[in-house]
Structure 1
Amino acid sequence: MKRDYTPNVVCFGEILWDVLPDVRKPGGAPMNVAYHLNKLGIAVDLLSSVGHDQAGDDLISFLKSGGLSAELVQRSSDYNTSEVLARITEDHEVTYDIVKPVAWDQITYTTEMKQAVSQADAIVFGSLSAREPVTRDTLYSLIESARYRVFDVNLRAPHYSDDVIINLLQRADMVKLNLSELLLIIRWLSPAIIKNEMQAVELLFSWFQIQEVLITKGRKGATYYSREIRYDYPTYAIEVADTIGSGDAFLAAFLAMKLNNEPLEVTLDYAAAMGAFITSQSGACPDYSRFDFERFIWKKKYPQYGLAS
């Protein structure tokens, strides 16, 4: 049975500008997830921090123009808004030069944040924003009030440590990560030889209270695990513009469908389509409507009808 109210999600962590060779675009995994959840009709609170500078003003304006609230985005007088140098390789992959400290390294705990988290259906948090003590301690405190905790692993060297990642895994209900991140974490946990992906996931389940694992695999699709089932799902064939934010879009669509109690196969199909849709465009947060996205799905599923672009 679907819910008779609009689900609400809190996204916690970095908000920034991805500075590409020829353009600057808004980004940061938590903001990307929030952006797409909002597009899909989910109520969102974004918890972050920007500086008292033009870059911060521009990010706040971007959020408001997209219908996202900036009420819980703090303004720092001591630290600048984050700007990340992003480079796109010949095979469309992205590398990042992430400067610190910046405003989102100093997100401070407030009772308003706690209230937002305690009332939400889920909180989404990543590993990057936990790199510095102030924001990390705020995150740890807020997680305690959450109903459902989604850990979006985002390992960007040198901005993580194994003890922090393991601490966050101990606090998560669902984990989303890619294959290389999974294998790296498993090497931290066990000296034993892990022969395949399923054994690696089983080790996560045995070490932590995690109930669900979502593994993104680029062109090879994604795999969902619970403690009872495994479900492999293919990706959509598209022409790649860049891969910035594609995993964030995938997660947002997955959560939007899950929180509306859609069947797993429908949920994974929607998530795969959203990841492909964003990969076919430039940047993590292109301007689109839900109609645009669902039209994309229709064209991919039923090309025989020859819908005009």
Structure 2
Amino acid sequence: MFSAHAPALVDYIYLIDRYPQRGGHSIILSTRKSPGGAGANVAHNLASLGVESTLFTTLGRDEDGIYFVENTLAKVKAEITDEKTGKVHVFVDGEGERTFFVEPNAAGKPFVEVDGGDYLYLDPFPSEHSFEVQRKEAERFDGFVILNPGFPYSSLGFERLKQILQHVDMLIMSADEFSLLGVETADVLRFVDYLIVTQGKLGSACYTKKGSFQSPAFPAKVADTTGAGDAFAAGFIYGFIKNYPLEVCLTLGNFCGAYNVERVGARNFPSKSTIDEFLARVLR
């Protein structure tokens, strides 16, 4: 079973013509609402592929909390820690680049414990308490731990990150996040068995103590980059759980990420039949 300890967020997405200069203005072309949260997206995507997935999170008592649960395929085990559920206002320009403005609300109170699972995925809550709460979850979890530190944890620096890495088996992060650490891949591999680095248009790489693997990106017409990293993570983890070679896991992750960016919203993920067809071609 796959478990995620991650914030539940509802995305309010605004497609704009362009980003204005500070003090200027731009036009909102359209708006939409979508359940979100990076780790929640990963759990949802894996559940869509038939992986038993549970999200451990915090919610508010509002309609957004109900909306989130009703539109998330993973089982949601939540503590009610606020009147309002966490929100993210996402502004997406004509080139698909996005900017986030977060209202933490319940997501700012990450006081929920994980109960069971074979794999644990950790994604930071927008809270000053998040790092220590998740460090304890990683330490006590009896299974395979995956951390996606994002900028919140990567910006803390490698010395601080090591406190949680000693309880982590796999680290997934972007090239920009990795650069913040100011270390070599070998330094990270002293703590984890797998380091996966996404590199945007350059694809992705996986580093292990036995060697490294690189996979090129798939061409894509970008509509919205929101959730691309989550789609990649879900694709890679699905391949990993199914015991595919690491090169295949990277390729599947890249495919899922490219599929996502061609559509607006964080939870645009290939269907199981689409992924099965893709894997059949790759493994032929």
| Structure 1 residue 83, shift from structure 2 partner | 0.7
Which position in structure 2 is the counterpart of 1:122?
119
1:146 aligned to which of 122, 142, 145: 142
CA distance in 1, matches of 2:179, 2:131: 24
Of 1, 6, 17, which residue of structure 2 is paired with 1:13? 6
Unaligned runs of 5+ in 2: 15-30
Verify the 8 A CA contact 1:123 1:146 in the aligned structure 2: no
CA contact 2:198–2:204 (8 Å) conserved in 1: yes
Q: Hey, what's the Cα distance between the residues in 1 that align with 2:186 and 2:45?
A: 30
Counterpart of 1:23 in structure 2 is 32
In the TM superposition, what is the alpha-carbon distance from 1:89 to its structure 2 partner? 3.3
For residues 6-29 of structure 1, what are the alpha-carbon distances to aligned partners after superposition, in whole Å with 9 as ceiling and x for unaligned? xx1111111111211111211110
**2:78 & 2:37 partners in 1: Cα distance?**
13
Letter in 2 for 1:92: G
Please show how residues 1-309 of structure 1 align to structure 2 within 5 Å: 8-21=1-14, 22-63=31-72, 66=73, 68-70=74-76, 72-76=77-81, 78-100=82-104, 102-110=105-113, 113=114, 115-116=115-116, 120-126=117-123, 128-129=124-125, 131-133=127-129, 135-143=130-138, 144-156=140-152, 161-162=156-157, 164-186=160-182, 200-205=184-189, 208-286=190-268, 289-294=271-276, 297=278
Answer yes or no: is the 8 Å Cα contact 1:222–1:235 preserved in 2: yes
| Amino acid in structure 2 at the alignment position of 1:203 | D
Select the structure that is richer in strand. 2
Note if contact 1:36-1:249 (Cα within 8 Å) is conserved in structure 2.
yes
- Maintained 8 Å contact 1:221/1:233: yes
Q: Secondary structure at the match of 1:19?
A: strand
Question: 1:210 Cα deviation (Å)?
Answer: 1.1
8 Å CA contact 1:48–1:73 kept in 2: the answer is: yes
SS at match of 2:150: coil
Identity %, equivalent residues: 22
Q: 1:178 to 1:35 in 2, by over 3 A?
A: same
- Per-residue CA deviations over 1:171-230 (Å, capped at 9, x if unaligned) read 3211111111111111xx6xxxxxxxxxx212322xx41111101011110011001111
How high is the TM-score relative to the length of structure 1?
Answer: 0.78
CA distance in 1, matches of 2:269, 2:250: 23
Task: Point out the structure with the larger helix share.
Answer: 1
The 1:290/1:17 distance shift into structure 2, 3 A limit, reads same
Q: Which residue of 1 aligns with 2:23?
A: none
What RMSD over aligned residues (CA atoms) do the two structures have, in Å?
2.5
State the alpha-carbon separation in 2 of the partners of residues 222 and 287 from structure 1: 18
Give the CA deviation at 1:132: 2.5
Contact 1:277 1:293 in 2 (8 A): no
